């Protein structure tokens, strides 16, 4: 069961079928699919997720969402987020917004009112971290793909990213599952207290307008399936529609018995090259037309539970 959930998590192959796979007629043996490629990948091509960068969002009823943070892309904002988690700021707050084909967002329902929860010891204002100077430390791996929004796209330390080569800036992109920082009208108004997750077609027009701090690596379905809010911008207009946050914790602050040991595929690696080839060619069975391309936000970034 865990492995099936992995398949969902990384958005594997998965054709729209006339019938469940088990009921289709056996076909001639196809080229290896993504699951085969990952299953035969050497252990050395996987790296353990750092528990000090891994955030667990607990929505109750066994709904756990796991995010991996990107301090290299947004050091000050991620530092704030770590502090919010350590000081248990979000515990008891709520998912306040779920807008179809856009974002799901949490924070303090009492927002700017006198009843707002104290921000504790975090920095209440931060300079924006929408983008960074171009750098290959950590590595940027280019993806050969035409992109509507940027002249260069790829993977920056394993996260989907884009570059403005002439302007010498790079940034994490708003792909499905990206974790961004809600803000007000000014650039410095996003301190990390309200985070949102992309739940639809990747809204890349948000790139460089907000700070992206990471991505969901497991449990996305618990956020994406929440009822959509019927207020403006998908905010819940009835308090009882909100989902309460039981707690948000850093994995490193949880007992080992409550953590999952996760690993991600290294980029670059021979296996990742095979993943890209597979996605572009789609010679693994059901496909009749080879797409010949894979776009940035359709590229799988595999994460799995470590084999013991």
Q: How far is the CB of 19 from a second copy (least distance, A)?
A: 5
Q: How far is the CB of 180 from a second copy (least distance, A)?
A: 6
Q: Which is nearer to a second copy, 72 or 235 (CB)?
A: 235
Q: How far is the CB of 43 from a second copy (least distance, A)?
A: 25
Q: How far is the CB of 196 from a second copy (least distance, A)?
A: 4
Q: Which residues contact 26 (CB under 8 A, 6 or more apart)?
A: none
Q: How far is the CB of 42 from a second copy (least distance, A)?
A: 26
DSSP reduced 3-state for 155 = strand
Report the phi/psi class of residue 73: left, alpha or beta, with left for phi > 0 and alpha for psi in -120 to 50.
alpha
Q: Which is nearer to a second copy, 180 or 249 (CB)?
A: 180
Q: How far is the CB of 2 from a second copy (least distance, A)?
A: 11
CA distance 150 to 45: 29
Q: Which is nearer to a second copy, 130 or 272 (CB)?
A: 130
Phi–psi pair at 30, nearest 5 degrees:
-80, 175
Q: What is the largest CA-CA distance in the chain?
A: 67
**Token pair recorded at residue 213:** 């701090």
Phi–psi pair at 161, nearest 5 degrees:
-155, 170
**Token pair recorded at residue 109:** 């329902």
Q: Which is nearer to a second copy, 87 or 147 (CB)?
A: 147
Are 174 and 204 in contact by the 8 Å Cβ rule? The answer is yes
Q: Which is nearer to a second copy, 115 or 136 (CB)?
A: 115
Are 193 and 84 in contact by the 8 Å Cβ rule? The answer is yes
Q: How far is the CB of 178 from a second copy (least distance, A)?
A: 10
CA distance 178 to 183: 16
Q: Which is nearer to a second copy, 236 or 249 (CB)?
A: 236
Q: How far is the CB of 87 from a second copy (least distance, A)?
A: 19
Q: Which is nearer to a second copy, 19 or 307 (CB)?
A: 19
DSSP reduced 3-state for 218 = strand
Q: Which is nearer to a second copy, 130 or 155 (CB)?
A: 130
CA distance 293 to 301: 16
Report the phi/psi class of residue 204: left, alpha or beta, with left for phi > 0 and alpha for psi in -120 to 50.
alpha
Task: State the CB neighbour count (10 A cutoff) for residue 303.
Answer: 21
């Amino acid at each position: 069961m865990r492995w099936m959930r992995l398949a969902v998590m990384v958005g594997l192959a998965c054709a729209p079928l006339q019938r469940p796979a088990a009921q289709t007629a056996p076909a001639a043996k196809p080229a290896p699919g993504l699951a085969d490629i990952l299953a035969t990948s050497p252990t050395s091509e996987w790296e353990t997720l750092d528990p000090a960068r891994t955030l667990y969002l607990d929505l109750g009823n066994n709904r756990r969402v796991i995010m991996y943070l990107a301090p290299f892309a947004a050091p000050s904002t991620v530092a704030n987020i770590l502090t919010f988690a350590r000081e248990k700021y979000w515990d008891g707050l709520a998912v306040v917004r779920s807008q179809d084909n856009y974002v799901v967002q949490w924070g303090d329902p009492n927002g700017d009112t006198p009843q707002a929860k104290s921000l504790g010891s975090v920095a209440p204002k931060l300079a924006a971290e929408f983008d960074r100077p171009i750098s290959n430390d950590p590595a940027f791996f280019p993806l050969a793909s035409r992109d509507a929004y940027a002249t260069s796209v790829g993977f920056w330390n394993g996260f989907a990213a884009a570059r403005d080569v002439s302007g010498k800036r790079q940034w994490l992109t708003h792909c499905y599952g990206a974790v961004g920082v809600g803000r007000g009208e000014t650039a410095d108004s996003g301190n990390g207290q309200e985070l949102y997750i992309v739940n639809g077609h990747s809204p890349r027009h948000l790139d460089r307008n907000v700070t992206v701090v990471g991505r969901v690596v497991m449990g996305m379905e618990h956020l994406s399936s929440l009822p959509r809010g019927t207020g403006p911008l998908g905010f819940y207009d009835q308090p009882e529609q909100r989902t309460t946050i039981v707690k948000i914790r850093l994995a490193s602050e949880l007992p080992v018995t409550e953590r999952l040991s996760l690993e991600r595929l290294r980029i670059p690696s021979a296996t990742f090259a095979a993943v890209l080839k597979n996605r572009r060619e789609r010679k693994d069975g059901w496909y009749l037309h080879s797409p010949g391309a894979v776009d940035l936000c359709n590229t799988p970034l595999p994460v799995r539970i470590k084999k013991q």
